[in-house]
Amino acid sequence: MSLLRRPEAMIFDMDGTLFRTETLILPAYRRTFDQLRREGLFEGETPPEHIILGSLGMLLAQIWQRVIPGAAPEVHRRADELLLKYQLEGLDAGEGELYEGVEAALGELNRRGVRLFVASNGLEEYVKGVAGAKGLSGLFEGIYSAGEYGTAKKTELVRLLMNRHGVRDAWMVGDRSSDVQAGKENGIAVIGCRYAGFGDLRELEGADAYVDDFREIVELYERAAER
């Protein structure tokens, strides 16, 4: 583990870091393929759920290339629309769960003066929808998504966030290789989250520290050296 210093800000991924994504996406995923079949845009069995779970953290275009490779672009676009629609409906119905201790830990960091942000490769409506539905929006100074800003890599999204908010020193907290890359390429420490269960832990190689429970973020902050 690298020597960590207390940051002025923390930048969090959403899926697999704050939000237990499978509790919302899997019902929406099944409904998406049911509707694609009804519309004549897809035939056969719904692709295995492990494929989409293993793709979380990627841009949507990359996800559909893995889930339904070879499908026409209009099928991918329709799948985008349906998955978002059903996830937002699920949020409105109270579906989806945060990882245990997320709200309390974020609140504690906020009370200690840490500036909190989200940087996600998801769509704007989804990312902000999760934060709003789960009562987190007020804790974040900014919620950034690839869908809103049209970034091709999380590195670009994090750089944009840091520049806009004058952030010089931060921790990037996430569960995928894109989070490690975004932190390293922007010169900030990376905290790898190993509790989601649907990614390959090798993706987190190079992180400065690791947590197996979100609440450990507060402990890491307490143990880190003063700025």
pLDDT tens for 55-86 read 887 888 889 999 999 999 999 999 999 999 99
pLDDT tens for 187-220 read 999 999 999 877 677 889 999 999 999 999 999 9
Rg of the chain over Cα atoms, rounded to whole angstroms, equals 17
Given this model, what pLDDT does residue 22 score?
94
pLDDT tens for 94-114 read 999 999 999 999 999 999 999
Given this model, what pLDDT does residue 201 score?
76
Q: How far is CA 213 from CA 25, 99, 210, 218, in A?
A: 21, 8, 9, 10
CA 88 – CA 179 distance, rounded (Å) = 25
Given this model, what pLDDT does residue 2 score?
54
| DSSP type of residue 84 | H
User: Average pLDDT for residues 9-36, to the nearest whole number?
Assistant: 97
Checking if the pLDDT of 1 tops 50, the result is no
State pTM to two decimals: 0.92
